[in-house]
Chain A
Amino acid sequence: MTVNVISAGIATTIQDLGRPGYYHLGIPMGGAMDRLALKTANLLVGNDEGAAGLESVFVGPELEFTQDVTVAVCGAELPPKVDGEPRDTWTAFTVKAGQVLSFDFLKSGARIYIAISGGITTPMYLGSRSTYAIGALGGVNGRPVQPGDSLPLGKSSRTVKDGLTVPKELRRGPSYPAELRVVPGLYWHRLTEQAQSNFFEDTWKVANEADRMGYRFQGGRKLEFVEREQPFSAGADPSNITDACYPYGSIQVPSGSEPIVLHRDAVSGGGYFMLGTVISADMDLIGQLQPNTPVRFVKVDMEAALAARKEQATIMDEIREVLSQR
C-alpha cells in the first residue's frame, strides 16, 4: 500500500507531531508547523492525531494512490482536486485506486496538511517520522519528498464517513494583518526603552526567508541597544550574547534590524540576544503567514499567554467532539 509522488509541490515534507526530548543535542522537536491543522486532518480520516502526513507550502503535490483511501486537507486554503474534480478543504473525501490527488492555486494561508487514512509509515527516527532536513533525519531518507517517491501507508483501522467536515466556525484561518502575541523576556533588558516600545508599535512584514527553522520580519525601525562593554566571549556586536539556548518561538534580532522567530526546526542555540517569545497558542498561526503579510507583535503577560493556550485547547477539544459524532 503506497502513495506515489508524481510532482512534489513546494517543500513537501513528511511530518507528524515531532520528536521532543533531544533539543539539548541540537535536534529540534520538528513536526507540523500548524499542529492543529495536522491533528484535525488526521481525525477527519480516522487516524490518530499524531499520524504522519504531508506538509506543503503554497503549492501542493500530485499524488497517485494504489488503493482506495480517505484523504483530508487542512490548514491553508489550497483547494484539492481528485482527477481534476474539486474537493473541499477541512473535509474527508475518498480517492480511489489509480486516481490522482492534485491542487488548485493558493487562496489563503501558507501550509496545507494532507492526511491519508492509515497514515504514512516511513521509518521512525527518535520516535518520529518528521523530516528534519538540516540533520538528514526522518522523512524520506532524511529529505523532503521528491517526484518518483513511493510512500508506504499503514492499514486504516477505522472507517470514516465521506463528507465528514469541520464546521466553518472551528476553522481558524489567518487574520490580516496578523497579530502575534509575545511575552517580553530573555534579553529584553538589552533594548533601550524607545526600542522596546517601537518594536510593539511598528508594523512588520513577513520576509521571504520564512521556513521551518524560522520566520524573518522586516520593515520596523532598527532596534537600539543599551550601551555596555560586551561581556567576554559574547562577540563585538551589541546584539551578541555568549552563545545560549534558544526557546521555540523566541525572537532574535541580529544587529537590531530584522527579527527572526524560531519555529519547529529551530536552531537550538547561538549568539544572538532575544527580546521575548511568541506564546505557544500563536505558533501554529505563524506557519500560515505568507511573505509580505503585515504583522503586529502584541505584548502580553503570562496570564494572558496561558488563557490563550487554554482557548486554543478548547477549540481542539470542540473539533474532537464534532468529529467523534460521526
Chain B
Amino acid sequence: MSSRYTFGGDEHIFVEVDEEMSLEAFFVSLSMTNAVRNANIKGVTEICPANASFQIKFDPDVIHPNDMMKELKRLEAESEQGDNVLETRIIEVPVFYQDPWTHDTLMRFRERHQDPDATDIEYAASINGYDSVEKFIEAHSGSPWFVSMVGFVSGLPFLYQMVDRSRQIQVPKYLRPRTDTPRQTVGYGGSFSCIYSVRGAGGYQMFGITPMPIYDPEQTVPYLKDFMVFFKPGDIVKFKPITREEYDAAIAQVQAGEFMPRIKNVRFSLSEFNADMDGTNAKLMEALYDR
C-alpha cells in the first residue's frame, strides 16, 4: 500500500490509500483523517474519510495548495503504523428482509436489473453460491460489518463485511440506477452493504428494510437529539433479521419515541481481528448481547 496524493482543483486534496478495499486501507484513511483533525491546520474546512481513501477541503486563500500537500505528507510520514486499535461501538440494526415495500419498488424497476425474473436477493444469493435466500440472509446477518464511509447522501453508511475475503458477498449494482428507493432500505453494491438514509435514487440491490431511523433533520428521534446523523466511520453493525410482526412493533415504538437501538462500546484491534476473525467476531457478539 502506498498512498497516492492528487489535487481536486484548487480547494481539495484527494488521497488514495489503496485502489482496492481492505480494512487495512480503511484504518489508514481513518487514522490519517484523525491526524489531520488533531493537527488543526489553518484553512482546512472539511475532513472526509472514505473506504480506502480520504479527502481534505481547504481554503487556498489561507493556505497554498502546495503547502497543504506538504503538511499532509508530513503527517503521513509521522504517523506510526501502530497497532490499529479503535475505541468504537457496536450497534444492532433490525432488518425485515424481503419486505413488501422494497419488493414493490424492485418490481417497478425490473427492466434495469441483470436478472429480471428473480428478486434482488434471489439474484444475490444465487450468484454468491447460496442454495437458498434463507442461507444468504444467514450470511448477511451472521457476521458484523464495519462502517467504512458515511456519505453519498446525508447520513448514508457504507458497510464492509468483517469476514475473510473469500467469504465476502459481492453483488453488482443495478444496470441502470433506479429513480426510487424506500427510506431505510438495506442495500448492496460491489462489496458494500448500505442503509439508504432518505428516499431517492439508488443503484444498490435491495434486500430489506430497517425500522430504525438513521437520519432525522428535525431531531425528534430521541437518540438523534444531539445530532441528526446516526452513523460515523468506525462504527460496527450487526444486522438482526426480524419478522413482519417485529417490524410493525418497532415502527410503533419509533412513532411513540420509544425505540432505542442496542448499542455497546467496544474496543476493536485490527491485528487481533486478522489473526482470528471468527474469534474476534464472537467476542463482539458477546459484548453486544452481554453474554
Chain B residue at minimum C-beta to C-beta distance from A126: B228
A97 within 8 A of B: no
The answer to whether residues A235 and B10 also contact, given A243-B190, A269-B149 and a CB cut-off of 8 A, is: no
B52 partner, pick from A24, A244, A277, A309, beta carbons under 8 A: A244
| Neighbouring B residues of A248 by C-beta, 8 Å | 9, 11-12, 57
Total count of chain B residues near the partner, CB < 8 A: 58
The answer to whether residues A279 and B152 also contact, given A135-B217, A234-B20, A268-B48 and a CB cut-off of 8 A, is: no
Among A22, A25, A235, A276, chain B packs the most CB atoms within 10 A around the CB of A25
A79 within 8 A of B: no
B217 close to A242 (CB less than 8 A): no
A245 within 8 A of B: yes
| Neighbouring B residues of A186 by C-beta, 8 Å | 6, 8, 14
Can you name 5 extra interface pairs (CB under 8 A) apart from A126-B228, A249-B11, A277-B7? A23-B57, A183-B9, A185-B7, A268-B152, A269-B149
The docked-state distance in angstroms from the alpha carbon of A155 to that of B177 is 46
Chain B residue at minimum C-beta to C-beta distance from A183: B9
B50 close to A232 (CB less than 8 A): no
The docked-state distance in angstroms from the alpha carbon of A26 to that of B233 is 12
B19 close to A277 (CB less than 8 A): no
Chain B residues engaging chain A, CB cutoff 8 angstroms: 6-12, 14, 16, 18-22, 33, 45-55, 57, 60-61, 64-66, 149-156, 158, 165, 170, 172-173, 189-192, 197-198, 200, 215, 217, 228-229, 232-233
The docked-state distance in angstroms from the alpha carbon of A249 to that of B48 is 16
B158 close to A24 (CB less than 8 A): no
The answer to whether residues A26 and B172 also contact, given A20-B46, A280-B9 and a CB cut-off of 8 A, is: no
Total count of chain A residues near the partner, CB < 8 A: 53
The docked-state distance in angstroms from the alpha carbon of A241 to that of B191 is 12
| Neighbouring B residues of A243 by C-beta, 8 Å | 50-51, 149, 152, 158, 190, 192
Chain A residues engaging chain B, CB cutoff 8 angstroms: 20-27, 125-126, 132, 134-137, 142, 182-183, 185-186, 188, 231-236, 240-245, 247-250, 267-271, 274, 276-280, 302, 305-306, 309, 313
| Neighbouring B residues of A24 by C-beta, 8 Å | 33, 46-49, 150-151, 233
The answer to whether residues A313 and B61 also contact, given A23-B46, A24-B49, A245-B14 and a CB cut-off of 8 A, is: yes
B9 partner, pick from A135, A232, A245, A277, beta carbons under 8 A: A277
B21 close to A25 (CB less than 8 A): no
Among B51, B61, B200, chain A packs the most CB atoms within 10 A around the CB of B51
Closest Cβ of chain B to A129, distance in Å, is 13
The answer to whether residues A309 and B60 also contact, given A24-B151, A135-B215, A233-B21 and a CB cut-off of 8 A, is: yes
A25 close to B150 (CB less than 8 A): yes
A242 close to B51 (CB less than 8 A): yes
Supply 17 A–B pairs (Cβ within 8 Å), ascending by A: A20-B46, A21-B45, A24-B233, A25-B151, A27-B154, A134-B198, A135-B155, A185-B8, A231-B18, A232-B20, A233-B190, A243-B192, A247-B55, A247-B57, A268-B48, A269-B48, A309-B10
Closest Cβ of chain B to A123, distance in Å, is 10
A247 close to B154 (CB less than 8 A): no
Closest Cβ of chain B to A318, distance in Å, is 17
Closest Cβ of chain A to B19, distance in Å, is 4
Closest Cβ of chain A to B191, distance in Å, is 4
A305 close to B9 (CB less than 8 A): yes
| Neighbouring A residues of B156 by C-beta, 8 Å | 26
A27 close to B229 (CB less than 8 A): yes
